[in-house]
Structure 1
Amino acid sequence: MKIDKLYEKEIEDILDYNEFIKTIKADPSEEFLKDLHKKYEYRSQEEALRTLQVELIKLQDHLEKYNEKMIILVEGRDASGKGGAIRRITRYMNEKHYRVVALGKPSDVERSQWYFQRYIEQFPKGGEIVIFDRSWYNRSMVEPVFGFCSEEEYEIFMKTVPRFEENFVENGIHFLKIYFSVSKEEQAKRFEEREENPLKQWKLSEIDLQMQERWEEFTQKKYRMLKETNTEISPWTIIRSDDKFIARYNAIKTILNKVDYEGRDTRIDFTVDPNIVISADKELQIMAETAKLREMRKNI
């Protein structure tokens, strides 16, 4: 295995090459090499994203030139990879022309207002992209599951949100709803990593600890959300996110495909992976079949 040649270029800014060779000779263990592969696989993935990140800058320039607006919702269960994806999406963007909005718990004043009001206050101005890291769809899943809203508030939201979205889309805002779909097993692994990694422990909350126990409740709310809020004007895009890199790569392509921006690099294949990016209708079908199969197994 010619490890010295394989990694010579990549390690220059991390470890002196000669020291690297000494380390390899001193500890050629399988575990060491496995960790090394992970480190440089990660770097290769980050570099692979750069071509698409350049295109995101072109998209920004297009929106600014024509004074257009764009809203991107990033939804999904906890530990589904939303935050990491948003960081890759915005990494090289012009900070003057995008905002990431992650609203916290509403104040007493905000609770007395129309539910959508505090979100509307964050809408983009001309030439701007606003990315909602969670959005008004808190009311479709998190709030009803944990009792943060009444049943009446939940039902009103489910009834009115399609009209709300259709209104601003018809007024010219580019609107994209992305749902990162993580498996129960992968979510459990990520929660375990958060518990063990001191750099990630801040991500773990009391609500997170209940997510696995309430998996089925969230699944039921997710099904209804997709069924009732996936419209022709504002459809959902589902992205399988058990593999973080593949999810991020396809999420960026999904965003780039939303707008016919100027200067698009025709050498790039903007086609998304059909096994990773699926429609809400397809997701609903899969969820229904999974639920049916689960019931059949119970009755065996």
Structure 2
Amino acid sequence: MARRILVSGASGLIGTELRTALAARGDQVIRLVRRPPSSADEIRWDPTAGHIDLDGVEPVDAVVNLSGAPVARRWTSRYKRELLTSRTSTTRTLVRHLDRLGDQVPLLNASAVGIYGSDRGEEELTEASAPGHTFLAEVVKAWELEACAAQTNGRRVTLARTGLVLSAEGGALGPLLPLARLGLGGPIGSGRQWWPWISMEDEVRALLHMIDTEVHGPVNLVAPGSARQGDIAMALARALGRPAFVPAPATALRLALGELADDILGSQLIRPGVLEQTGFVWRHARVEDAVRQVASPWHDLTVRA
């Protein structure tokens, strides 16, 4: 049965793929936009002012909030404020208007594995693990707190703690793909740090799983096949037919990215306990399979070059 799904952040990397997947299975996607609507499936909102133009809008079956400024850029003081407010203000606005969108409409809110902190070494982390104390961890905690305010009268709230999404269009591999194509995609730092990865296809399928089931609370969106950063670099190099021996020194990374480098160099061994317990089946459980798919269009470019 087709459903109406309201999505914020629908034009982002993950949002675009989710919107396509929802439409492909027959669901109607209603997009929140910050400009005048150009079609009947768009609703204007201003999260900074706390306003959503809901006059005459029919109820929806679920709300998916994917809004938030991109993390993968240098964090100035000003941008750190944007990282926080772009998440908390949008979530707060949606929560305030949920009752107008439908009786007990569930909320699927984006979150991130950054909540566990930048470096947990070899510690196995589950949804029940304590949060970290880094800047990004504090941002995600504040973000989830705003979403959890919707847990009134039994409303279902699900927190999608997304890991490093592997996609040919960007995500975690975005900066690495052109370097790897040149044979410069070696280990970052020691290469021994655990990277909690997930393919874009499985990220979207996991979000659909969370919409369709009664899953609630935090959910780690990562693959079951844990991998160290150096292993991902090697798998990418093999998929492209290139060497991967030139490392990216930690000092150079810190000079280029500042505080963000700590999160890239840190280690998070994260387990997808809730997804496993609720019967989710991955298409890409091994990093080699995910990287091969991601690298395919880049491999074609490399061969032609």
TM-score, length of structure 2 as denominator length: 0.35
Q: Which structure has the highest strand share of the two?
A: 2
TM-score, length of structure 1 as denominator length: 0.35
Q: Which has the larger radius of gyration?
A: 1
